[in-house]
Structure 1
Amino acid sequence: MSPPDPARRNERARRAIVSAAFEICAERGFAATTIEAIAAKAGVGKTTIYRWWPSKAAILIEGLASQRDSSARFPDTGDVYADLASQTANAMRLFETEFGAIWRGLIAAAQTEEVAAEGVRSILRGSIDECTARLAKARDAGQIRPDIDLELIVELIYGPIYHTWLLRTRPVPPRFMETVLSALRPALEPAAGPA
């Protein structure tokens, strides 16, 4: 049996379902979010939801992907460090919204649920690809070393965000990422040429 065609969804019902899932998950947490509660809040039957999505994680992933796409793009001012500071500040602000509460729940669910894991990897892959594309442009412009693994840079930049945000290890000051990027910058910049 082939999967349902997403193009045949009723757009108003789809939006109501995603919105209901977001509200419930943000209020109660991922574990307490159920298809039954989503259906009741959206005013649709459970069969409608299951026709379009295999699980609550899939509904939330679809909604998060569109929110993330509109909120966490990479600027390109010509200064990669300013662009990274701007983008990471935007990402941290996004994490303090309903998006962050849902994202945290999905990351936890991804440890045991394959649908959640696939969705989390997909969203992260998009973010990693955008960041590496911006870093490649900076590398080609001579702003960062040509010999460094671009995905390693992504991990070095975003690791502190996820560590402090997921584990809640300490309060994060507003200029946190500017400090992180300043600490990383000497390791990323090309070596000075001979005098």
Structure 2
Amino acid sequence: MEHTERDTPPPPLLKPGRGRRRAEDVRHAALTATSALLFEEGIRGVTFEKVATRAGVSKMTLYKWWSSPGVLAFEAYFSALEETLAFPDTGDLRADLTTQLHALVGLFSRSGATIAQIIGAAQSEPELIEALSNQYVRRRRQLAVERLRKAKDAGQLRLDADLDAIVDQLWGACYHRLMLPVRPEHPVDEAFADALIANLFGGIAPAAD
């Protein structure tokens, strides 16, 4: 059978050699290899054996640093999102919410299937759901609540506004559409994000004098 370049596995990211390699180089190679596997094969294609081969690292190192391939896949994917999903603070709450939600739905449009796979896999993998909860969900919620609290202190929200409920109304609605899609009638796009924000501000904006 004739082989093509696509049949040939890529060379390992780290070349074998003498001497001790820096931990940050090994870690970067492992995360880079995992990200590539995620996009090529999905989360089920991420195994320690495949990552070790592609990264040029030992499986023992992967076992030492990550409790499961799912946890490794989660870190590889979401560690790259910190800047993309950073929460702006310009002093204009509505503009900041719009910027952040547009970034989220833009991410969904590019790689929503991968996010959905990670969330789905977490339902049957305790280590992954713990990592997802502690390292992503709680941190993202805390950032959003802190921004909303500053807006409340500045008089941009009603004093009795439930900040956690606002987070659920906005971000929860986006994840709901991602995980339970009814496409193309109900896409997760900027128009949807704008509609969520418009509906929200109709109920939480302070009353005019």
8 Å contact kept, 2:109–2:188: no
**How far apart are 1:169 and its partner, in Å?**
1.8
CA contact (8 A) 2:105 2:190 kept: no
Equivalent residue number for residue 117 of structure 1: 129
Indicate if the aligned counterparts of 1:61 and 1:120 stay in contact, CA closer than 8 A: yes
TM alignment of 1:51-90, pairs within 5 A? 51-90=64-103
Unaligned runs of 5+ in 1: 1-7
What does residue 46 of structure 1 align with?
59
CA deviation string 1:134-168 (max 9, x = no partner)? 10011111111111221110000112211222222
Q: TM-score, normalised by structure 1?
A: 0.87
Deviates more, 1:135-144 or 1:62-71: 62-71
In 2: Cα distance, 1:75 partner to 1:10 partner:
32
2:52 corresponds to which letter in structure 1?
A: A
RMSD over aligned Cα atoms? 1.8
CA distance in 2 between counterparts of 1:180 and 1:17 reads 38
Alpha-carbon distance in structure 2 between the residues aligned to 1:46 and 1:139? 49
**Structure 1 residue 94 displacement after superposition:** 2.1
Q: Which residue of 1 aligns with 2:155?
A: 142
Pick the structure with greater CA Rg. Answer: 2
Q: Secondary structure at the match of 1:74?
A: coil
Q: Equivalent pairs: percent with the same residue?
A: 37
CA drift of 1:173 comes to: 4.0
Aligned partners of 1:26 and 1:101 also within 8 Å:
no
Q: Distance in 2 between matches of 1:159 and 1:65?
A: 18
Q: Residue 188 of structure 2 aligns with which residue?
A: 172
CA distance in 2, matches of 1:78, 1:26: 37
- Match of 1:175, SS state, is helix
Runs of 4+ with deviation above 3 angstroms? none
Structure 2 residue runs without a partner (length 5+): 1-20
Aligned to 2:204: 188
Give the SS at the match of 2:82. helix
**Contact 1:92/1:161, CA 8 A, preserved across alignment:** yes
Q: CA deviation at 1:192?
A: 4.0
Q: How many residues are matched?
A: 185
The verdict on how the C-alpha distance between 1:65 and 1:33 changes in structure 2, with shifts beyond 3 A counting, is closer
The aligned amino acid for 2:130 is: E
